[in-house]
């Protein structure tokens, strides 16, 4: 994908084992590589298939299972190409024990790639002599089987052919073989020599390599490919007429249609970067034409060709996996996961690949990937979950969750300027909300909001509310009620980011108020809210007049929309928690039970 979009010469060989054909992400990757749009919708020199050869190193085993006759059903791996596209991926089986056959196959398939008729699938037959790992005793196969393959080993058999054809003498081959053994032994000795290959003696360096913390305007010197000047984009024109602060001079709110919305802030940051960085691409399940499921990309289609903005298959693992590869090659990319709940469909890619390649490469590789993820509500148990805590748990990923237009634009700008992977959460409930806090409104010019810096959205002196995501607005409503009815002044802090996170502003607030509630929409058990609460309890212990309280959603599945007020934190829940766990409110009757007994009961029942 990187080679095609950035007009780089050559081709890519993706080596996979035969047993990997049972893995979902492999099929997703093949589907992605074979998309019709490369030939049907991409235009000009971009038209044509991806320059990729899927090279199946068919050693006939996966762990201890034999793919042919046991764990798979295709018999011959090359057959799967027939189910992918009309060209059947130009698939064929190749004798991997015959170097000339492999060379011939690659010469022919390279021609296919050069004619832009990829992708290609090669089933290269070979054999795995040793076990899968040192603990694998190969007890699942016979000695006779191994010896039969050894008798046909390509090094010996091809050597005999060279001698028979008088291309080489046996003494030449023996000399080469001796040199190879000597070289391998030499490399082995150097690898285990701690003077030549010293071990890391300062483990703290690992932490320094987790993030590269770079700042790069663009990853390509090419002229960004666009379809019109930025000022002529129809949505840019519409936004120019919007009010960039939600209230007029008298404090009255402008209509929703007239307000510069959170989705506009994200759009402005992204389209600005598209006009600066030719390497930037974006894709997901509904990014083009439709403008995205929540209209963030509305207007991008008019400005960008297919090779910079396109729809992907419903293949979250491929969406994130290809983005990782694209970034490793040197490009910047914005993949989109339509719903937070679908993160699990890209589990290995998000948890095991995206966060680790920078540190594993000693920061040689950079990972400028900004994954947009919308957090839903009103769509029930499988489309309304806040899974921010899962992502924050994984070292190597930056996590932010802006809930105001000013913060959304600033944090997206900062994310796109950086060189680290960012999961950029967006609440579906407030895509249409206007800017209520930054008095000058959302600036038209470029600016950044530093990741990791929380922001005081309401000043107070008696209690602190630290919120993640949409819960900011519930906390603000609760703060107003506390002030009006009980004379309690609440300071409300918007976390804005989860990783990194600077506690200094929160500690200063707690020094002043002595009390704090940490709140968010994630289910309470295992939530990042608890991590924050634990840190605050330690860092601000001397200043606390009451235990740090955590207010999250119930430990249930997300219920139907009409029951969400019983699941997600409501403004009244803040008062309930204050009354039960921090200080009694005169004449107050709580609606939610936050007593010690109820907490113990719920935990005992697993809810």
Q: Kindly report, residue by residue over 88-117, the tens digit of the pLDDT.
A: 999 999 999 999 999 999 999 999 999 999
pLDDT tens per residue across span 395-406: 999 999 999 999
Confidence band, pLDDT 50/70/90 cuts, at residue 378: confident
The helix (run of H) or strand (run of E) holding residue 577 is: helix 571-577
Question: Can you tell me the distance from the alpha carbon of 469 to that of 90, in angstroms, rounded to the nearest whole number?
Answer: 49
Confidence band, pLDDT 50/70/90 cuts, at residue 131: confident
In this structure, the strands spanning 398-400 and 497-499 are: antiparallel
**pLDDT for the residue numbered 69:** 86
Catalytic pick from 132, 383, 393, 438? 383
Ordered by start, the domain boundaries in the chain are 2-168, 230-430, 456-605
What's the chain's average pLDDT?
A: 96
pLDDT tens per residue across span 235-279: 999 999 999 999 999 999 999 999 999 999 999 999 999 999 999
Mean pLDDT of 343-372: 96
Question: Can you tell me the distance from the alpha carbon of 601 to that of 584, in angstroms, rounded to the nearest whole number?
Answer: 22
Confidence band, pLDDT 50/70/90 cuts, at residue 433: very high
Weakest-pLDDT range from 140-149, 294-303, 429-438:
140-149
pLDDT tens per residue across span 486-534: 999 999 999 999 999 999 999 999 999 999 999 999 999 999 999 999 9
Mean pLDDT of 351-358: 96
Q: Could you tell me the two tokens for 377?
A: 């509500």
In this structure, the strands spanning 65-66 and 61-62 are: antiparallel
- CB count, 10 Å around CB of 235? 20
Closest CA to 346 of 286, 297, 285, 401: 285
Question: Can you tell me the distance from the alpha carbon of 270 to that of 265, in angstroms, rounded to the nearest whole number?
Answer: 9
Q: In this structure, which CATH number among 3.40.50.970, 3.40.1390.10, 1.10.3720.10, 3.40.50.1220 belongs to the domain 230-430?
A: 3.40.50.970
**pLDDT for the residue numbered 186:** 96
Confidence band, pLDDT 50/70/90 cuts, at residue 138: confident
Radius of gyration over every alpha carbon of the chain, rounded to an integer in angstroms: 29
Question: Can you tell me the distance from the alpha carbon of 502 to that of 204, in angstroms, rounded to the nearest whole number?
Answer: 20
**pLDDT for the residue numbered 118:** 97
pTM, 2 dp: 0.95
> Taking 90 as the threshold, does the pLDDT of residue 158 lie above it?
yes
Q: Could you tell me the two tokens for 537?
A: 């309890």
Query: Is 90 designated active site?
Result: no
> What would the CATH number be for the domain defined by 456-605?
3.40.50.920
pLDDT tens per residue across span 572-602: 999 999 999 999 999 999 999 999 999 999 9
> Taking 90 as the threshold, does the pLDDT of residue 171 lie above it?
yes
Confidence band, pLDDT 50/70/90 cuts, at residue 65: confident
**pLDDT for the residue numbered 379:** 87
> Taking 90 as the threshold, does the pLDDT of residue 50 lie above it?
yes
HSE of 277 in the Cβ direction (CA atoms, 13 Å)? 24
**pLDDT for the residue numbered 132:** 84
Fold adopted by 2-168:
Rossmann fold (3.40.50)
Confidence band, pLDDT 50/70/90 cuts, at residue 372: very high
**pLDDT for the residue numbered 137:** 84
Supply the DSSP symbol for 537. H
Confidence band, pLDDT 50/70/90 cuts, at residue 134: confident
């Amino acid at each position: 994908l990187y080679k095609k979009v950035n007009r780089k010469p050559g081709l890519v060989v993706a080596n996979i084992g035969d047993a990997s054909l049972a893995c979902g992400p492999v099929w997703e990757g093949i589907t992605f590589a074979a998309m019709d749009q490369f030939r049907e919708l991409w235009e000009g020199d971009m038209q044509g298939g991806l320059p990729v050869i899927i090279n199946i190193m068919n050693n006939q085993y996966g762990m201890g299972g034999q793919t042919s006759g046991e764990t798979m059903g295709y018999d011959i791996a090359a057959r799967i190409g027939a189910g992918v596209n009309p060209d059947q991926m130009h698939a064929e089986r190749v004798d991997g024990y015959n170097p000339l056959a492999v060379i011939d196959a690659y010469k022919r398939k390279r021609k296919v790639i050069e004619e832009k008729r990829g992708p290609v699938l090669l089933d290269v037959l070979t054999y795995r002599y040793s076990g899968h790992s040192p603990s694998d005793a190969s007890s699942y196969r016979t000695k006779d089987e191994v010896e039969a393959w050894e008798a046909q080993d390509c090094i010996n058999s091809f050597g005999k052919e060279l001698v028979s054809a008088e291309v080489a003498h046996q003494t030449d081959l023996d000399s080469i073989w001796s040199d190879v053994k000597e070289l391998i032994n030499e490399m082995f000795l150097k690898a285990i020599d701690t003077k030549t290959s010293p071990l890391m003696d300062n483990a703290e360096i690992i932490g320094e390599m987790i993030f590269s913390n770079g700042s790069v305007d663009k990853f390509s010197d090419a002229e960004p490919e666009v379809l019109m000047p930025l000022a002529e984009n129809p949505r840019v024109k519409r936004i120019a007429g919007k009010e960039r602060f939600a209230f007029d001079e008298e404090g009255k709110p402008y209509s929703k249609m007239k307000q510069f919305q959170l989705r506009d802030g994200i759009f402005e940051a992204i389209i600005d970067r598209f006009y600066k960085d030719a390497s930037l691409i974006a894709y997901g399940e509904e990014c083009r034409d439709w403008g995205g499921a929540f209209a963030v990309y509305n207007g991008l289609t008019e400005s960008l060709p297919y090779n910079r903005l396109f729809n992907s298959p419903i293949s979250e693992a491929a969406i994130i996996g290809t983005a990782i590869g694209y970034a490793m090659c040197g490009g910047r990319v914005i993949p989109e996961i339509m719903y937070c709940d679908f993160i699990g469909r890209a589990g290995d890619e998000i948890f095991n690949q995206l966060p680790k390649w920078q540190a594993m490469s000693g920061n040689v590789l950079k990972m400028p990937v900004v994954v947009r993820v919308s957090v839903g509500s009103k769509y029930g148990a499988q489309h309304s979950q806040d899974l921010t805590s899962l992502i924050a748990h994984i070292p190597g990923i930056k996590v932010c969750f802006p809930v105001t237009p000013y913060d959304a634009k600033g944090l997206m700008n900062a994310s796109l300027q950086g060189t680290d992977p960012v999961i950029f959460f967006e609440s579906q409930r407030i895509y249409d909300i206007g800017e209520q806090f930054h008095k000058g409104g959302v600036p038209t010019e470029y600016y950044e909001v530093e990741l990791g810096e929380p922001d005081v959205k309401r000043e107070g002196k008696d209690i602190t509310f630290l919120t993640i995501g949409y819960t900011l607005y519930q906390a603000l409503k609760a703060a107003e009620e506390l002030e009006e009815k009980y004379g309690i002044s609440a300071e409300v802090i918007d976390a804005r980011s989860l990783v990194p996170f600077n506690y200094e502003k929160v500690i200063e607030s707690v020094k002043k108020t002595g009390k704090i509630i940490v709140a968010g929409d994630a289910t309470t058990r295992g939530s990042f809210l608890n991590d924050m609460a634990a840190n605050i309890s330690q860092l601000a212990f001397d200043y606390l007049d009451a235990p740090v309280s955590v207010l999250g959603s119930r430990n249930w599945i997300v219920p139907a929309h009409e029951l969400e007020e019983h699941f997600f934190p409501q403004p009244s829940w803040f008062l309930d928690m204050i009354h039960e766990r921090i200080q009694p409110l005169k004449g107050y009757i709580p609606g939610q039970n936050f007593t010690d007994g109820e907490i113990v009961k719920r935990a005992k029942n697993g809810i």
